[in-house]
Amino acid sequence: MGPMSDRALLGPQYRTPNLRECLAAMGLAGPLACVTAGWQDREGEIEELKAHVARPVHDLALYVRAERVHADDPALAAAGRERQARLQELQELYRLRLGALMGAVEELAPTADEAPARRSARRAALGDVRRLDRQHLAATAREHAAFARDWLRRPRPGLASQRAELARLIESSAAVLLAGGHVAVLLNRLRLFGLGPLLASRPLVAWSAGAMALTERVVLFHDRPPQGAAHAEVLEPGLGLLPGVVALPHAATRLALADAARVQAFARRFAPARCLALDHGSLARWQRGRLVAARDLRRLGRAGAVTEVAT
C-alpha cells in the first residue's frame, strides 16, 4: 500500500451538495468513479451527481456485480448468508449487553456538585461500555477475516474477473466517490470485491454511509428513534482508511447535540477517535493523514460541548 492519498468527508449531498467545490479544492481533474451500492436497487442513478460535478462519473455497480457473482456462485452466496446470520446474532447479543451497560452510564449522568465516587463510578461504567465495544468489534472482525480467508482469497473465477475490472476502473479515475445509503450493504459489497486495498492509494471523497465505511469502526446512532432504545452501537470495522475518526452523518437531526451529558458520554466512549458531525455543508479534508481543511465541521467534545473544528 502506498502513501495515504487525499481523503475528504462531506455532509449529506442531497439538496445542498458541495462535492464539486471539494473536488476543486483537492485539485482533482478528470473522470471519477463512484460507489452507490448503499442505494441498493437505486444503485447507479447518478444523473444528479453527474450534473453537479460536470464531468464523467463511472458507477462501479458493486450492488449489481454482487448479485451476479452470487447468482453464478451459489456456494459463496450461501456462505455469505450464513456469515450474515452469525453477524446478526452477534449484533443482537451485543445490543442486549449494551442496553444494560448504557443504562448505568445514563443513570450516572453528571450532576451538580457530584461526589467523587459518582464520577468514578461513571468512568468505570463507561469503561465497561468501551470494553464491550472493543469485544464486539473484535468478534465481527474475526467473522470477516474468517470469511475472507475461507472464501474470498481462494480462487473464484467470477469474483476474480470482477475485481480485475474494478481495479482498472479505479486506477483510471481521478478519485473515487463513496455515497451513502445502507451502511452494512455498502460495506458488504466493498469487502466482497476486496476494494479496501484498491481504494487505499486513491483520492477518496465520501459522505453519509460512505463516510462511515471509510473509518475504522462503524457506529450506528440515533438519539431520538421513534421506537426502541437510542444507544449508539458499533456495527463492525470499516475499511480503516481514515483512522481516528467516527463519522456522524446527519448529526444535527440524529443526535441530541444540546444534551451535554449525552455528548460527553458519546465522545468519551469513542475517544481518542474524533467524533465528527457531518451535516449539510460540512467538509473535512485530509492530506497524508493530516486534517488540512474543515468547513461547517463540528466535533463532539469530551467535556460535552459541540465545537467547530478549525485547521
Partner 1 sequence: MSAALATLLAGAPPDREALDAFLAAHAVPLIAREAVTFLYRGEAEAVYLRMFISGLPAAQPLARAAGTDLWYLTLSLPEGSRFEYKFEVKRGGTSEWLLDPLNPLKASDPFGANSVCQGYGYVPPEWTLPDGGAREGAFDRLAIDSRHLGRRVVDLYLPARFRRTRRYPLLVLHDGGDYLRYAQLKTVLDNLIHRLEIPPLVVALTESPDRLREYVGLDAHADFVASELLPAVAARVPLEDDPAARGAMGASLGGVASLHAAWRHPAAFGRLLLQSGSFAFTDIGENHRGPVFEPVVRFMNAFRARPGRPAERIYLSCGIYESLIYENRSLVPLLQAARVQVRYEEARDGHNWQNWRDRLRAGLTFLFPGPLWMVYE
Site residues (CB under 8 A) for partner 1? 12, 14-15, 38, 41-42, 180-184, 208-209, 212, 220, 222, 225-228, 249-250, 253
Cβ neighbours of 44 (radius 10 Å): 17
**Burial letters for 219-241: b for 16+ Cβ neighbours within 10 Å, e otherwise?**
bebbbeeeeeeebbbbbbbbbeb
Measured from the CB atom, the residue of 101 and 248 that comes closer to partner 1 is 248
User: Min. distance of Cβ 54 from partner 1 in angstroms?
Assistant: 22
Nearer to partner 1 by Cβ, of 175 and 232: the residue is: 232
Residue 40 CB, nearest approach to partner 1 (Å) = 9
- CB-facing half-sphere around the CA of 202: CA atoms within 13 A: 24
Distance CA(167)–CA(153), nearest Å, equals 16
User: In 3-state terms, what secondary structure has residue 174?
Assistant: coil
Q: Which is nearer to partner 1, 80 or 180 (CB)?
A: 180
Strand (E) or helix (H) holding 98: helix 74-107
State in angstroms the smallest separation of the CB of 229 from partner 1.
Answer: 10
Grid cell at residue 12: 449529506
Instruction: Give min distance, CB of 226 to partner 1, in A.
Output: 4
Residue closer to partner 1, measured from CB, 76 or 251 = 251
Smallest distance from partner 1 to CB 235, Å: 8
CA torsion, ordered 144, 227, 225, 108, to nearest 10 deg: -90
CB of 175 or CB of 209, closer to partner 1: 209
C-alpha dist (Å) from residue 81 to 11, 162, 236? 32, 20, 17
DSSP 10-22: E---SSS--HHHH
Specify the residue, 5 or 12, whose C-beta has the smaller distance to partner 1: 12
As measured in angstroms, the least distance from the Cβ of 228 to partner 1 is 8
